[in-house]
Structure 1
Amino acid sequence: MGYRVAMALAAQGLLCMVLLFPLLVLGVPTEEPTSREAVASRPRGYCRRCCDSEDPLTLADEADMSSASPSALLYVLPEVRPYINITILKGDKGDRGLLGSPGKLGREGPQGERGPQGAKGAKGQAGSPGGPCRMRFSAFSVGRKTALHSSEDFQTLLFDTVFVNPDGHFNLATGHFVAPLSGLYFFSLNVHSWNFKETYVHIMHNEQAAVILYAQPSDRSIMQSQSVMLALGPGDRVWVRLFKRERENAIYSDDVDTYITFSGHLIKPEED
């Protein structure tokens, strides 16, 4: 029984020596010196850790502790104060930064529903009076029921039948169409040739031949046609003439059927 008690006390003493060995080797931290003399007074081998208490033991206390028993050293350790991490403290609110560059436009959203109908607006003011009504059309179509042999070098082709001449722009007495306004006009001429006789006819623009209708002499009479588009000004004349050369010039028609026709109309008036 005495042997077991002795072994327990020896184990307890050995454990205390192991726990206190770092303190015996490194020494107990002391108070920070405030002058060169205090630093010089420190014993060699003195070391102070940054985590030690700000109130270490004095040298006198350290001398007393050197003679104290290991178990007594457990009750004179410096007081440990709480550590405050200043990095987690919140500072003052900073100034507002510069405005960044605008981002990219987003995708176009779906079309919304149609809104309700708005209130009816007020009636507007009356406009200024318009100009006088201008004629914006012209047309004619005439024919001839009798044959014609040219008796001179140039002979005007006259017509005796009116199909269309609402505004009287074609003059039957002279055989001339007189343009009422500037614009583009279309004209067409149809004649029937005479057996064994030459057919030589001009569509005239004022005093100039615009196009020709021609058929050589033949033992068979045939229908011939010609058309042209002309730019006319107000008062310009368009008419038909026979042109006699070495041969006799003639066109055929009779009282039953109309073999000769001359027509024209305004396509596009000139812009103001």
Structure 2
Amino acid sequence: MEAMLTAYLSLLFLVSLVCCVPPPSRPPSRLCRRCCDQLDPPATTAHYQMPEVKTVINMTILKGDKGDRGDKGTHGKPGLEGPPGQRGPMGPKGSKGQAGAPGDACKIPQSSFSVGRRKSLHSVDYYQALIFDTVFVNIYEHFNMFKGKFYCYVPGIYFFNINIHTWNFKETYLHLMHNDKEKVILYAQPSERSIMQSQSVMLDLALNDEVWVRLYKRERENAIYSDDVDVYITFNGYLVAPSMQ
């Protein structure tokens, strides 16, 4: 009986202890609001902002040793040409060069030609150069076949000769020209028979002088004869003596 009383007292003591413990805190109940009422502004929550950390590197401490020189790059595009500069001072006199090889004592300047024409020609209303179509000799191409002119590339004394065949009953009237001046005439009166006529002259030529044959303009019946079988018209010239430089 005593044991039951002790157990009852112990249980009663435990119940009293439990009743003395305060209840846990509960959040306040939300108030009832109408849908038209304004809501309370949300409570601001304080945020903690982390400070910005910047790293500063002292380059003087990290600078290394100077590296090796790199390879030479390719050349760029050339720029615009600048204005010419002033003439510089005269340089020192150079050393004497070696003597050249001896020249050929027998080498003499040469210039000669011999051409012909196989077609007859009649005068027109203006002067015309006598053009040739056959080459016998033309050293260094000093005679221009397209223009019918000899060009002097070696100044000196030259010999020239012109041969033509006259036309029956027609006059023959030509000039041997030195540049734009008449030097000698080759002339034949009209005749029942055709004949060969010739004229020669020596001329002192300078560099780039021209020598050619000119047919007179048509003031009278003027013509020279030739055919495709034989060469009746020839023009020749050659250097006799070069000028002394």
Name the TM tier (shorter chain).
0.5 to 0.7
Q: Hey, what does 2:241 align to over in structure 1?
A: 268
The CA deviation string for residues 195-238 of structure 1, in whole angstroms up to 9 with x for no partner, is 11000000000000010000001111000000000000110000
CA–CA separation in structure 2 for the residues paired with 1:131 and 1:174: 39
CA–CA separation in structure 2 for the residues paired with 1:246 and 1:180: 36
1:184 pairs with 2:157: yes
TM-score (norm 1): 0.51
Q: Hey, what does 2:134 align to over in structure 1?
A: 161
Match of 1:249 among 206, 210, 222: 222
CA–CA separation in structure 2 for the residues paired with 1:211 and 1:128: 48
Please tell me the residue identity of whatever aligns with 1:211.
Answer: V
CA–CA separation in structure 1 for the residues paired with 2:176 and 2:144: 16
Match of 1:129 among 74, 96, 100: 100
Q: Hey, what does 2:186 align to over in structure 1?
A: 213
User: How many angstroms does 1:131 deviate by?
Assistant: 8.7
Aligned counterparts, 1:74-93, within 5 A: none
Which sections of structure 2, spanning at least 5 residues, go unmatched?
1-97
CA–CA separation in structure 1 for the residues paired with 2:103 and 2:150: 25
The CA deviation string for residues 76-114 of structure 1, in whole angstroms up to 9 with x for no partner, is xxxxxxxxxxxxxxxxxxxxxxxxxxxxxxxxxxxxxxx
User: How many angstroms does 1:176 deviate by?
Assistant: 0.5
Q: Which has the higher contact order (CA 8 A, sep 6+)?
A: 2
CA–CA separation in structure 2 for the residues paired with 1:155 and 1:166: 25
The CA deviation string for residues 154-186 of structure 1, in whole angstroms up to 9 with x for no partner, is 111000000000210000000000011210000
Moved more, 131-140 or 142-151: 131-140
CA–CA separation in structure 1 for the residues paired with 2:102 and 2:155: 18
Distance 1:256 1:271, change over 3 A: same
Aligned counterparts, 1:226-241, within 5 A: 226-241=199-214
SS in 2 for 1:167: helix
SS in 1 for 2:235: strand
Which sections of structure 1, spanning at least 5 residues, go unmatched?
1-126
Distance 1:130 1:187, change over 3 A: farther
User: How many angstroms does 1:153 deviate by?
Assistant: 3.0
User: How many angstroms does 1:130 deviate by?
Assistant: 5.7
Q: Hey, what does 1:224 align to over in structure 2?
A: 197
Superposed CA RMSD in Å reads 1.9
SS in 1 for 2:141: coil
Q: Hey, what does 2:114 align to over in structure 1?
A: 141
Q: Hey, what does 1:39 align to over in structure 2?
A: none
CA–CA separation in structure 1 for the residues paired with 2:191 and 2:185: 19
SS in 1 for 2:208: coil
Please tell me the residue identity of whatever aligns with 1:128.
Answer: A
Please tell me the residue identity of whatever aligns with 1:129.
Answer: G
User: How many angstroms does 1:132 deviate by?
Assistant: 8.3
User: How many angstroms does 1:245 deviate by?
Assistant: 4.8
Bigger fraction of residues in helix = 1
TM-score (norm 2): 0.57
Please tell me the residue identity of whatever aligns with 1:182.
Answer: P
Aligned counterparts, 1:41-120, within 5 A: none
SS in 1 for 2:193: coil
Structure 1 stretches of 4+ with a deviation exceeding 2 A read: 130-135
The CA deviation string for residues 126-160 of structure 1, in whole angstroms up to 9 with x for no partner, is x9326988871100000000100011231110000
User: How many angstroms does 1:244 deviate by?
Assistant: 2.6
CA–CA separation in structure 2 for the residues paired with 1:132 and 1:213: 43
Q: Is the 8 A contact 2:166 2:225 kept in 1?
A: yes
Q: Hey, what does 1:175 align to over in structure 2?
A: 148
